[in-house]
Amino acid sequence: MEGKRIPLRFILLLIACITFQQCASDTIFYESFEDSFDGRWIVSEKDDYKGLWKHAKSEGHDDYGLLVSEMARKYAIVKELDEPVSLKDGTIVLQFENRLQNGLECGGAYLKYLRPQEAGWKPKEFDNESPYSIMFGPDKCGSTNKVHFIFKHKNPKSGEYVEHHLKYPPSVPVDKLSHVYTAILKPDNELRILIDGEEKKKANFLSAEDFEPALIPASTIPDPDDKKPEDWDERAKIPDSDAVKPDDWDEDAPMEVEDEDAVKPEGWLDDEPEEIDDPDASKPEDWDDEEDGEWEAPKIDNPKCESAPGCGEWKKPMKRNPSYKGKWHAPLIDNPNYKGIWKPQQIPNPDYFELDKPDFEPVAAIGIEIWTMQDGMLFDNILIASDEKVAESYRETTWKPKFEVEKEKQKAEEAAADHSDGLLGFQKKVFDLLYKIADIPFLDAYKLKILDLIEKGEKQPHLTIGILVSIVVVVLTVFFKILFGRKKPAAKVTQETKDTGVAETSNNEASSGEKEEENEKEDAAAPRRRSNRRET
């Protein structure tokens, strides 16, 4: 018996072969784009479709796809199938991958499953009028954000083809990762939409709740010839004609009146304004009254008002007027002549028909006909199969490995961005602290220079540490001068002292009289340039 035992590896190989053959038999069409599409896919020659298709690798992978390479273009390309595919019998799975490498602000990324050419179209003239059976895939622009599923169906009564749109379709994942879209059409009229293998929508082709317009029309319709009678009253409530406005109802009474019981708080400073001129502000030396107008000192809150209940002229506060009633209206009562909301009577729908299942047209080609504002859109691994497991197998082998790599890269980039945001937050706190330091009274002589340094730091964040060190040096210098009795009144600080401060903090030596004069003008103009920041 030992000699007749079948090796395990032979059994596994046999199972793999059987599985592969089964997958191959259930795969109706598959396009991986590993080879160039030239000669196999036909690019439309219509004038409107100037977008350039490219055979390119997906960013970060060795896997090729069909690339939308230019922005703000229309694109059209089509691939005929070896044999038309019937959508009427058994399960049909439509699946493809799409990657929005530059995001998607406005554009389509869907596929069209076209009817046979006998319906009236030619591959080199493929455009938006070419007749299709199904349109499936992402579309996003403005308020539109949906994974379309639209099928065209011939009305057996009128003979016209009608577009039926899936209601409440799933939204488009608008990141820059690879995503796989799957539509499963079942013989029991069920439709399932999957994104990345996860079911996002389930619908029934015959249900009016799932498609707009409904595949099967309503059995009755409003009679277009029925008219509402002239005496039909739709008012449920009417004003009471017997009601009379009360004699004491004053429609002119104001909503608010002065509170006569209010008393001015003790300590109210009647003669003090709420704001005063900033006593520390001075007119810049280069201010020209004729050119700049009369100079006015900036306003600050009156410090005397901070400890008082209020300043300025005291007025009694307003309160709600207890006599206010507003405009008088007669109360509403039930309308004795109310007949309800009028509707035309229903009549049999002449276009009504019944169906057990949709009468889908066969699919003879796959086309991509889109308009998009984005480039970098990549189509890959387009599949038509007759078994859901085949589609699942392709997702596991062609899409998932790429997606996992992209997801890990995205996590790393987000972590780096969080770190950067944390650094920016630290810099903001540093600059906020420096603005407070600049307002310390004993640094008045150097305030403008400190503000200059802070402003440079905000424009060039990489200098934050250097700016911080420079200001610390200024603070320590002033502190030691005060400590050793060399403090000078801020009002008597000379321009020479200020220039020395500039040399110590910025390490920029003025070598000529012209540069000193230029610095003096900058100093004088500085208060106007930063008034908003310092006032707040």
Smallest CA-to-CA distance from 117 within 90, 161, 141, 84 is with 84
Helix (H) or strand (E) holding 385, with range, is strand 377-385
Torsion of CA 179, 180, 183, 184, to 10 degrees: -140
The C-alpha angle 267, 271, 275, rounded to 5 degrees, equals 100
The strand ranges marked E within 232-295 are: 237-239, 256-258, 275-277
Instruction: Please write the tens of the pLDDT for every residue from 310-357.
Output: 999 999 999 999 989 999 999 999 999 999 999 999 999 988 999 999
User: Shortest CA distance to 111 belongs to which of 212, 200, 183, 47?
Assistant: 183
* pLDDT tens profile 457-504: 766 666 666 777 777 777 777 767 766 654 444 444 444 444 444 434
Amino acid at 123: P
Ordered by start, the domain boundaries in the chain are 22-220+356-396, 422-479
**Cα–chain-centroid distance for residue 231?**
52
Question: Residue 38 gets which letter from DSSP?
Answer: B
pLDDT score recorded for residue 52: 95
Q: What are the C-alpha distances in Å from 50 to residues 123, 125, 193, 306, 492?
A: 16, 13, 32, 70, 74
User: What is the rounded CA–CA span in Å between residue 377 and residue 359?
Assistant: 33
Report the amino acid identity of residue 379: F
Q: Is domain 22-220+356-396 in CATH 2.60.120.200, yes or no? A: yes
Q: What is the pLDDT of residue 417?
A: 73
Measured CA to CA in angstroms, residue 69 lies from 33, 59, 172, 203 at distances of 16, 13, 21, 35
Residue pair 166/186 in contact by the 8 Å Cβ criterion: no
The two three-digit tokens of residue 529, written as one number: 């340039």
**Phi/psi of residue 78, nearest 5 degrees:** -145, 150
Which is it for strands 363-372 and 53-57: parallel, antiparallel or unpaired?
Answer: unpaired
Cβ-contact 192, 95 below 8 angstroms: no
Please give the model's pTM, rounded to 2 decimal places.
0.61
The crossing angle, in degrees rounded to 10, of helices 464-483 and 495-506 is 140
Q: Taking Cα atoms as reference points, which of 46, 167, 161 lies closest to residue 114? A: 161
Q: What is the DSSP letter of 311?
A: B
Residue 476: per-residue pLDDT: 77
Q: Looking up tokens 């209010």, which residue turns up?
A: 262
- CA torsion 221-226-227-232 (nearest 10°) is -80
96, containing H or E segment: strand 92-100
Q: Are 166 and 201 in contact (CB under 8 A)?
A: yes
Per-state percent for the chain, helix, strand, coil, to nearest 5: 30, 25, 40
What is d(CA 370, CA 174) in angstroms, rounded to the nearest whole number? 17
Rounded to whole angstroms, the Cα distance separating 423 from 461 reads 10
pLDDT digit string (tens) for the chain, length 536 residues: 444 454 444 444 444 445 445 456 689 999 999 999 999 999 999 999 999 999 999 999 999 999 999 999 999 999 999 999 999 989 999 999 999 999 888 999 999 999 999 999 999 999 999 999 999 999 999 889 999 999 999 999 889 999 999 999 999 998 899 999 999 999 999 999 999 999 999 999 999 999 999 999 999 999 999 999 999 999 999 999 999 999 999 999 999 999 999 999 999 999 999 999 999 999 998 999 888 899 999 999 999 999 899 999 999 999 999 989 999 999 999 999 999 999 999 999 988 999 999 999 999 999 999 999 989 999 999 999 999 999 999 999 999 999 999 999 988 888 877 666 655 666 777 777 777 787 787 777 777 777 777 777 766 666 666 777 777 777 777 767 766 654 444 444 444 444 444 434 444 444 444 444 444 444 444 444 333 333 43
Per-residue confidence (pLDDT) for residue 146, from 0 to 100:
95
Residue 126 · residue 368 · CB < 8 Å:
no
Token pair recorded at residue 9 = 């590896």
Q: Sign of the C-alpha dihedral, residues 421, 422, 427, 429?
A: positive
